[in-house]
């Protein structure tokens, strides 16, 4: 198993798609922060008569409450950019073993199918951390450059840990589609469409059936991430988000093992 893990991690860091997706994640994260900064600057012109206040204080007065490196870092993973690019990379990384018959060769050398999937999941988990780190670091540096650093609090680490659980839930879902379809094209399509469309569909159903906005949608990962990235989130919201992320991770990881164990490669 150790040799298989070393092989997968070596393959992970030799994947051009990893560095391309990380670079695009970093670029889109910077552009998102810069767009917020540009809008805040335009709005702040209406508050230009306020005296004795710093630019960041004026920005908060104008309604921009995350105008700091800390605030942007805590909001970084709530962007669709991170999950969509993670979905693209996961589909390419998993499905390439099917298209290039790498999985078949590995299993032919005496490794089990579940052992191969375990090594894949470990590599994807490492990729998750890299995507999260890229988004958070760029957000923090950009927010600090445009406004101020902000004072990092101990509670922020709880928020970030819950966000990581939600991201792992996304990753487990992406891996499941990849091992189920075995086609990078189909897996990429689903990994792009589901995060974008499912939340919207559930919100519409909430309005049509329950006449509210959170009966069904509160059980989708995007809702959990929205709660976990809220600086003012209470303990109940954080517990809900953490449990939801853990549940998605467990369920779709289990389904992935079920698919891989019952189908030939």
Predicted pLDDT at 46: 58
The verdict on pTM exceeding 0.85 is yes
Q: How far apart are the first and last CA of the chain?
A: 19
Predicted pLDDT at 218: 86
Residues whose CB falls within 8 Å of the CB of residue 259, separated by 6 or more in sequence, listed in order: 176, 179, 180
Predicted pLDDT at 62: 45
Residue ranges per structural domain of the chain: 2-262
> Phi/psi of residue 131, each to 5°?
-65, -45
Token pair recorded at residue 197: 């469309």
Predicted pLDDT at 68: 84
Predicted pLDDT at 44: 63
Predicted pLDDT at 163: 96
- Total H helices, total E strands in the chain: 11, 0
* Average pLDDT of adjacent 10-residue blocks, the chain of 265 residues: 88 93 96 87 61 53 66 90 94 92 83 91 96 96 89 88 96 95 92 87 84 80 90 87 96 96 80
Predicted pLDDT at 198: 87
Task: Dump the DSSP string for 113-140.
Answer: HHHHHHHHHHHHHHHHHHHHHHHHHHHH
Number of Cβ within a 10 Å radius of residue 76: 28
């Amino acid at each position: 198993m150790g040799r298989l893990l070393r092989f997968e991690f070596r393959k992970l860091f030799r994947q051009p798609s990893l560095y391309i997706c990380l670079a695009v994640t970093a670029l889109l994260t910077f552009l998102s922060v810069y767009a917020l900064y540009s809008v805040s600057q335009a709005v702040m012109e209406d508050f230009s008569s306020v005296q004795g206040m710093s630019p960041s204080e004026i920005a908060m007065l104008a309604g921009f409450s995350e105008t700091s490196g800390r605030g942007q870092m805590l909001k970084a993973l709530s962007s669709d950019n991170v999950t969509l690019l993670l979905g693209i990379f996961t589909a390419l990384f998993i499905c390439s073993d099917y298209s290039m018959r790498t999985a078949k060769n590995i299993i032919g050398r005496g490794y089990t199918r579940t052992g191969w999937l375990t090594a894949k999941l470990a590599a994807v988990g490492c990729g998750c951390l890299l995507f999260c780190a890229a988004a958070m670091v760029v957000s923090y540096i950009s927010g600090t450059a445009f406004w101020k650093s902000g004072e990092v609090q101990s509670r922020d680490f709880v928020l970030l840990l819950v966000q990581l659980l939600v991201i792992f839930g996304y990753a487990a879902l992406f891996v499941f589609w990849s091992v189920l379809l075995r086609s990078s094209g189909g897996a990429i399509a689903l990994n792009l469409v589901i995060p974008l469309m499912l939340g919207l569909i559930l919100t519409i159903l909430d309005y049509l059936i329950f006449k509210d906005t959170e009966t069904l949608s509160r059980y989708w990962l995007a809702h959990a991430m929205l709660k976990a990235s809220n600086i003012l989130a209470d303990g109940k919201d954080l517990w809900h988000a953490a449990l939801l992320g853990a549940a998605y991770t467990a369920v779709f990881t289990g389904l992935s093992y079920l698919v891989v164990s019952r189908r030939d490669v």
